[in-house]
């Protein structure tokens, strides 16, 4: 089966794992997914992630983060720019996710970064997803 949107697949796997309170979830490896997870880690939305290589297959193991009451730190994940409809924004038009409580993840000319970092560097790009 051919996967048309691997980033949406990763977000769905994370969303499903959070609904059943799993500690970890594995997703197939790609550089863009690793960069998105790096931004999520820097923003404090996941504990960590590691790249696992078995035989010739690479996976990414994502360690999910929960608060002291056992509730997930991530309340929602949404894919914005899709293969059928790409969404690009200028630096002054980057939307605020949940009035600043969430994080928009963008793919810019200087790599994948959060909306706060893109505004600071005055960079626009493709709006990949929103996490809150």
In tens, the pLDDT along 103-123 reads 999 999 999 999 999 999 999
Q: Using DSSP, state whether 44 is helix, strand or coil.
A: coil
What is the distance of C-alpha 26 from the center of its chain? 14
CATH of 6-131 among 3.40.50.1360, 3.10.180.10, 3.40.50.150, 3.30.1490.10: 3.30.1490.10
pTM listed for this prediction = 0.93
Task: For residue 87, give Cα distances in angstroms to 29, 38, 93.
Answer: 24, 21, 12
Give domain limits for the chain.
6-131
Instruction: Quote the CA–CA distance of 77 and 93 in Å, as a whole number.
Output: 21
Which contacts (CB < 8 Å, 24+ apart) does range 64-73 have?
Answer: 64/14, 64/17, 64/18, 64/22, 64/23, 64/24, 64/25, 66/21, 70/21, 72/18, 72/21, 73/44, 73/45, 73/46
Inter-residue contact 129 to 78 (CB < 8 Å):
yes
pLDDT tens across 19-77, in order?
999 999 999 999 999 999 999 999 999 999 999 999 889 999 999 999 999 999 999 99
């Amino acid at each position: 089966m051919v996967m048309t949107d691997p980033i949406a697949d990763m977000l769905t796997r994370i969303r499903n794992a959070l609904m059943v309170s799993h500690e970890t979830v594995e997703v197939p490896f790609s550089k863009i997914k690793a960069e998105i997870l790096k931004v999520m880690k820097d923003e404090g939305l996941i504990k960590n992630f590691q790249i696992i290589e078995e035989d010739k297959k690479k996976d990414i193991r994502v360690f999910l983060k929960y608060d002291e009451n056992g509730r997930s730190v991530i309340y929602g994940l949404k894919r914005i720019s899709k293969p059928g409809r790409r969404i690009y924004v200028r630096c002054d038009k980057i939307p605020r996710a949940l009035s600043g409580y969430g994080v928009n993840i963008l793919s810019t000319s200087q790599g994948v970064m959060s909306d706060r970092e893109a505004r600071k560097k005055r960079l626009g790009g493709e709006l990949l997803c929103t996490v809150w």
